[in-house]
Amino acid sequence: MHSRKRLNERGILLVEALVGLGILTVGMATISALMVQHLRASGTNNLLTTAIALGEQELEDLRSQDYNTGIVSRSSTSTQGVTTYTITTTVIPDNPAPNMKKVSTNVTWTGLNGSQTYALYTIYTQLLH
């Protein structure tokens, strides 16, 4: 009777090992899927951060221009790594009031999620001396 228990225990150990291996496989597959999602999100965040920086740089460049002749609508491109960003700035004079310019800057790029746009808005005013 003692030898029967040993045979049964050996069979149970093999089943336990197979179940444990199955659980480990499912866990590793889940971790791999999470890692892929993390890498994609990280890449998307890097693209967005670059777009924000380019848009802010465009607004700062406009701010340094002469109010009457330099703050005008324009468009340009910037390539950062393998991604090309299109920066489009629209200036509406005397909006929302006289001696003010409403400035809209859109930064567009194509990433993992397709075409995306980040928009920035500001108002510049003419300082009268």
Could you give the CA distance from residue 102 to residue 90 in angstroms, rounded to a whole number?
A: 8
Q: Which two tokens stand for residue 22?
A: 């199955």
Q: How far is CA 78 from CA 52, 55, 73, 86, 94, in A?
A: 13, 11, 17, 7, 30
15-46 confidence digits (pLDDT tens) = 888 999 999 999 999 999 999 999 888 888 99
The torsion of the CA quartet 19, 23, 28, 29, rounded to 10 degrees, works out to 100
Question: Which of helix, strand or coil describes residue 66?
Answer: coil
pLDDT for res 128: 76
The tokens describing 103, both together, are 């400035």
Domain ranges of the chain: 2-125
- C-alpha span between 12 and 18 (Å, rounded): 10
What is the per-residue pLDDT for 58? 97
Query: Of the candidates 89, 91, 86, which has an alpha carbon nearest to the alpha carbon of residue 116?
Result: 86
pTM of the model as a whole: 0.76
Tell me the residue length of the chain: 129
